[in-house]
Chain A
C-alpha cells in the first residue's frame, strides 16, 4: 500500500468500533447433521445414484415382472420348448434378437449342402426358413456359407404368442422365470445380509463392550467357526435339510456374520474408551443407554456399508450353490439355477444364459458401486 493512499483515509473511520451484536461466537456455516452430509455426498455421486436406480428397477421388476404376462413359472409345454425371444415392438428390429426367429450360418461343400444342413437343423420346415447365401463356395469342404433364419413362431403356428425372453427347454416362459428367480435371489441375499447384520452386530458389540473374559471366549468361538470351510457345512446341511431358500439362507449366515462381528467389535473397542462414552458413564447412564445412544449411532455408517457389500456376496454365493446343483432346484428358479440351465444350451440357445447373466452382473456391479458410494458418504473426510 503506498503512502498517499494511507493518508487519504477519512479520519472519522479512526474511532472505536461500535458493535451491534456480539459476533465473536457466531457460527456462520449452516447446520447439518452427519446423515444430511452423507446423503448430500451420496447423491452427488452419479454412478452411485445410477446404480441405486438400477437396483430399484430390478427389485420392482422382480415383483411385478411375473405378472406382466400370462405365463406361469412352471407351465411346462414341450411343444413350445426353446422358443427364442419375441417382443411385439422389437419384432422388426432384427439385430436385437427379439424378433422370434432362430438363425445360424451353415457351411458345406456348396450352397445346396449348406442349405440342407440348415433345413435339418430347423425341423425341415422349408416354408418358414429364409435362406441367404453368403458365400457360394468353390467345391472344397466348408467353403460355402448360408445364413438361415427360421421363423419358429410361424412354424409352430403360434403367430400370436410372444415369449419376451424366449422359453426354456421345457417350454416355460423365461421372462417369468427370470424375474421370479431374481426375486428368490434377492430375498436370499437380503435375508442373509439381515441375519449377518443382526447376529454380527450383537455378537461383535457384546464381545467388545463387555471385554475381558467374555470377549476372549466369544472370539475363540468365532475363530473355530471361521476355521470350518463353509462349503463342507453346506454339503452336510443339504443332507439334512431340503434344498431351498431356507437352507441356503441358513448356510449363508452360519459363518457369514463373522466378518460383520469383527468389524463391529473393532469399532466398539475403539469407541468405548472415547471420552464421550466415559462422560456418559460418569453421568450414571446405564449400559443399555450407552449402547443405544452412543455406540450404535456411531457405528451405523460402517454397518450399512458392510451390509451393502455383503448383499452382492450373498447373491453370488447363492448363484454358485445353485449352479453346482446344491441350491435352488427346479421347478423353482433363481438366478443361479437359470444360469445353470442356460449354460447347458449355451451354443444353440444363448438367450437362455444371456438374460440371467446380465441381471446378476448388473446387480453385483450396482451393489458394489452403491457400497463404495456409501463408504465415501460416511467418511467424514469426504464432506467438508
Chain B
C-alpha cells in the first residue's frame, strides 16, 4: 500500500494507520474528539500528501482546464484560488477540486479517491492543445496547518513570503521560502478554520513536520483523518463519495455557485447542467440536528412521516456542539418546521433541518471568495 513521505512521522507520533482509498494514512494519534478540539481551540497539523496535485502549463493550458471544469477561470486572477467541480456529460460530479492560478501555470488539487480518474479524464479531453500536464503529487509534499494559532506557529519557520503571513485573504496562494526551499502557502482548508495548505518539496516535508510540532510547543498537534472528517462536517463541507458522487448534481448539492454556465469556453456537462439548473433540483443537501445520542450515519433513511424523504450522507457526534449532526439529501419541499426522523438501525430518532455550516470561521468570507 502506498505511504506518504510523512509515514515515519506518523509512526513516531503513535498514529493508528488505516487504508484510505489505497493509502496507508493516520486515522488518529490520540482520540478523534480531542484532536478535533485542538484544531478549534489552537491548531492542528495534517498530512495531505495523498491528495493529487496537477500542474497545467503552456499556451493552451487555460482553455484545456476551462473545457473540463465547471468554474470560469477567466475570472481568477494571479494568486487566487477557486473551488470547482468536474462533471460528466450528464452533469454528475466526477470530483470537487481547488484551482490556484500561479504566474505561469494552473495548479489543481484533486481528491485522493479520484487521483486515478481525474488525470486520465483531462488527458482524454486535451484535444490537441499546446499544453502540458505535470503530476506533482510525488515531488511536492502537501500538509496543512489549521486553527486560530496557525500564524504564530508558522511564522518562525518561514524565511520569506510574498505577502504578509497573517494578511493573505481566504482562498489565495502565495510564494514562500521554507527550510531554504521554494514553497507555496494557500489560505484554503477543510476544517472551517483559518490556516494554510502548504506545498513544498517532498524531501523537506518530514523535517518541516517535525519543526512545526517542535516550535509549536504544545500549541499544535498532528490530526488524523478521523478529526479531519468531523471538522469538515461541522463546517458543512461536502466529501466526495458521501455528499458528492456521479449520481449527484451540483445544484442539489448546493454547489451551483461553482458552475458558471456562461463562460468563454464550452465545458463537459454544460448542456446537461443548464437543463438541470432550469428544471431546478428535486432534492437538496441539508444539515440535520439529531435529537438523540445515537449518531445518524451514511445511508440511513430520513422520514417526514411516510415514506422516506431522503438519506443521510455523513454524520458525526459533533465535538463543538455536543450533539450528533448529519448532512443528507431530502426532498426539496422539506421545511425547517417539519418534524423529521432518521431510522438508526431500526429505531426512529427525531431530527430537524439546520442551516449549513454548523460551525465555521471562514464561511462568510468563502461565500464571496467563491
Co-assembled chains A and B: no
Q: Could you list which residues of chain A lie within 8 angstroms of chain B, going by C-beta atoms? A: none
Q: Could you list which residues of chain B lie within 8 angstroms of chain A, going by C-beta atoms? A: none
